[in-house]
């Protein structure tokens, strides 16, 4: 009985360690709307650069800090729905290294952005404005 318990405990511990290592190995991005489109990127390689991309969004590349994070802000963009995504790259490799971090998401900007974000989050997209 004790051997089974110890073996099971070791197996569960190994799964947790491998899972934690895997989860922390890939970068992630949280994109939000509001007055501007913002994103917080974590787990990216220091020295890489990231930016928010999408139709009607044009922003410069921002360097990733030594801690693997970067906060992005598009600055003024037109109000409405935007399909936004975070892209990161190794500046030494250029265009071939550009890749999407996380997933593309609909975000809203403008005066009614908080209400539209709420509706979108609760899957009531039919009440939100279409893309511009």
Which CATH number belongs to the domain containing residue 70 in this structure? 2.60.40
- How confident is the model over 20-35, as a mean pLDDT? 76
Q: Is residue 15 part of a domain?
A: no
Inform me whether the pLDDT recorded for 6 exceeds 50.
Answer: no
Q: Is residue 2 part of a domain?
A: no
Q: How many helices (H) and strands (E) does the chain have?
A: 2, 7
Domain that holds residue 45: 27-127
pLDDT 10s digits, 67-97: 999 999 999 998 888 899 999 999 999 899 9
Residue 3 lies in a domain: no
In a domain, 123, yes or no: yes
Number of structural domains in the chain: 1
Query: With a threshold of 0.75, does the pTM exceed it?
Result: no
Q: Is residue 20 part of a domain?
A: no
pLDDT mean across residues, the chain: 80
Pick the more confident residue, 61 or 24: 61
116: left (phi over 0), alpha (psi -120 to 50) or beta: alpha
Instruction: Report phi then psi at 121, rounded to 5.
Output: -60, -35
User: Which pLDDT does position 106 carry in this prediction?
Assistant: 84
In a domain, 4, yes or no: no
Residue 68 lies in a domain: yes
**Residue 88 included in any domain:** yes
* pLDDT of 121 above 90: no
């Amino acid at each position: 009985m004790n051997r089974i318990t110890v073996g099971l405990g070791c197996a569960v511990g190994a799964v947790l360690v491998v899972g934690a290592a895997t989860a922390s190995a890939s970068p992630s991005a949280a994109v939000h709307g509001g007055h501007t489109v913002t994103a917080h990127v974590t787990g990216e390689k220091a020295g890489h650069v990231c930016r928010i991309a999408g139709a009607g969004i044009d922003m410069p590349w921002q360097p990733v800090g030594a801690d693997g994070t970067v906060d992005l802000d598009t600055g003024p963009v037109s109000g409405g729905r935007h399909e936004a995504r975070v892209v990161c790259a190794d500046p030494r490799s250029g265009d071939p290294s550009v890749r999407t971090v996380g997933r593309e998401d609909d975000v809203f900007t403008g005066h009614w952005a908080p209400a539209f974000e709420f509706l979108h989050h609760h899957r009531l997209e039919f009440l939100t404005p279409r893309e511009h």
